[in-house]
Amino acid sequence: MYLGTIFILNLTFLVVAMITVGQNKDIETLYAGDCNIVKRWDTGIHFILNLLGVAILEASNFTIQCITSPTRNEIDKAHFKRESLDIGIPSVKNLKFVTWSKIILWLFLMRSTLPLHRL
């Protein structure tokens, strides 16, 4: 839900920017006027974008931690095979005992947020 809200906010900003710019075929200009106003808007927009980026990383990190945290059933399966699982820390080792849907979601989240972690 949290990640969906951030997606809707990003999509809304994109649509508003596209409508505001219009259909000019030359240079796309959102605002032309006083430099001080442009600086304040620039700072405000970058602040909001940074907050959204942090929120996306936070939601993704939480989801990744939940995916790699073993359930009681997964722990029982591992113990039956005489293997241990890491509990309390995000661990790739635990992915051997989770469902394919969790693995696919984990791969998607890692692929989509890794560039954000590198910035």
C-beta of residue 56 within 8 angstroms of C-beta of residue 9: no
Total domains present in the chain: 1
- Say whether pTM exceeds 0.95: no
Domain interval for residue 86 = 2-118
Q: What is the pLDDT along the chain (119 residues), one digit of tens a residue?
A: 666 777 787 788 778 777 766 655 666 666 777 889 888 988 998 898 888 888 888 888 888 888 888 888 888 988 999 988 888 887 888 888 888 888 898 888 888 877 766 65
What's the confidence (pLDDT) of residue 30? Answer: 67
CB 44 within 8 A of CB 36: no
Q: How far is CA 4 from CA 19, 97, 102, in A?
A: 22, 28, 18
